[in-house]
Amino acid sequence: MPGKTTLLAPSILSADFTNLKASVELAEKAGADWMHCDVMDGVFVPNITFGPFIVKAIKQCTSLVIDTHLMIIDPDKYIEDFAKAGSDQITVHLEACPHLHRTIQFIKSFGVKAGVSINPATPVSLLEPVLADLDLVLLMSVNPGFGGQKFIPASVAKIANLDAMRMEMNPDMVIAVDGGITEENAAQVVEAGADSLIAGTAFFRAADPMAAARKLKGLE
């Protein structure tokens, strides 16, 4: 898409937790658009990260969009807490929400943008009943739970399929992709239809995060 500006969302999970403020400031200086907060409960995914207090702390350090990704079971219990902590958008997993439409409307009731994420083995067709209600879809291109995994190549076709659905049903919806994003595959992912790239290791662990950000955003 000529002239398309790729959004960059550094994942705080790969940041330096001994100095989160400096990590957030680095992301801002590098031209990031969102700060991506991966919330894991050790049940839905095999890892435990953090709760609303970290989101609140990050919100106090930045004016960037706070993008909160709830990889947890029964997210409805915690949506209000994460909204009040400062999340600008909250994404839940289709696989964790038996009443997905209701959960989406609950997120929006707090004045927060609503997103839905799907795991690599979940077909994009399952999103069709709620696609018109969404502000964003987050496609997982690795199995969630840990950073530093390799991108699953079949994700490219899923992105393209979702892009086609989006253009027909909800053209303003954002497609974000999370997992194994690198300087080498970013252009292919964007070409397939992604608008926003979630990058943890590729940004915070890069030898030169500033240069990595430019490459991920397609600026060089």
Q: What is the CATH number of the domain that holds 214?
A: 3.20.20.70
Supply the pLDDT for residue 217: 96
- Number of C-beta neighbours around residue 119 at 10 A: 19
pLDDT tens-digit map of 42-63: 999 999 999 999 999 999 999 9
Averaged confidence pLDDT in the chain: 96
Task: Please tell me whether 141 is known to bind a ligand.
Answer: no
pLDDT tens-digit map of 181-209: 999 999 999 999 999 999 999 999 999 99
pLDDT tens-digit map of 107-120: 999 999 999 999 99
Task: Please tell me whether 67 is known to bind a ligand.
Answer: no
CA distance 89 to 79: 10
Task: Please tell me whether 117 is known to bind a ligand.
Answer: no
Task: Please tell me whether 3 is known to bind a ligand.
Answer: no
Tell me the catalytic residues.
38, 178
**Domain membership flag for residue 207:** yes
Q: Which residues contact 94 (CB under 8 A, 6 or more apart)?
A: 100, 116, 117, 118, 122, 126, 127
Strands 89-93 and 174-178: unpaired
DSSP 41: B
Percent of residues, the chain, with pLDDT higher than 70: 99
Among the listed ranges 1-15, 86-100, 151-165, 185-199, which one has the minimum average pLDDT value?
A: 1-15
Task: Please tell me whether 145 is known to bind a ligand.
Answer: yes
Supply the pLDDT for residue 1: 40
Task: Please tell me whether 42 is known to bind a ligand.
Answer: no
**Domain membership flag for residue 100:** yes
Q: Are 135 and 173 in contact (CB under 8 A)?
A: yes
Task: Please tell me whether 201 is known to bind a ligand.
Answer: yes
CA distance 176 to 111: 20
Closest CA to 71 of 194, 205, 180, 178: 178
86: tokens are 């400062």
Supply the pLDDT for residue 2: 45
**Domain membership flag for residue 1:** no
Q: How many domains does the chain have?
A: 1
138: tokens are 């987050």
Longest CA–CA separation in the chain, Å: 45
**Domain membership flag for residue 16:** yes
pLDDT surpassing 80 at residue 146: no
pLDDT surpassing 50 at residue 31: yes
DSSP 85: T
DSSP-assigned letters across all residues of 100-149? HHHHHHHHHTTT-EEEEEE-TTS-GGGGGGGGGG-SEEEEESS-TT-SSP
pLDDT tens-digit map of 163-185: 999 999 999 999 999 999 999 99
Burial class of residue 125 in the structure, from the number of CB atoms within 10 Å of its CB (0-12 exposed, 13-18 middle, 19+ buried): exposed
Supply the pLDDT for residue 144: 86
**Domain membership flag for residue 97:** yes
Q: Which residues span the domain enclosing 64?
A: 7-218
DSSP-assigned letters across all residues of 133-191? G-SEEEEESS-TT-SSPPP-TTHHHHHHHHHHHHHHH-TT-EEEEESS--TTTHHHHHH
**Domain membership flag for residue 194:** yes
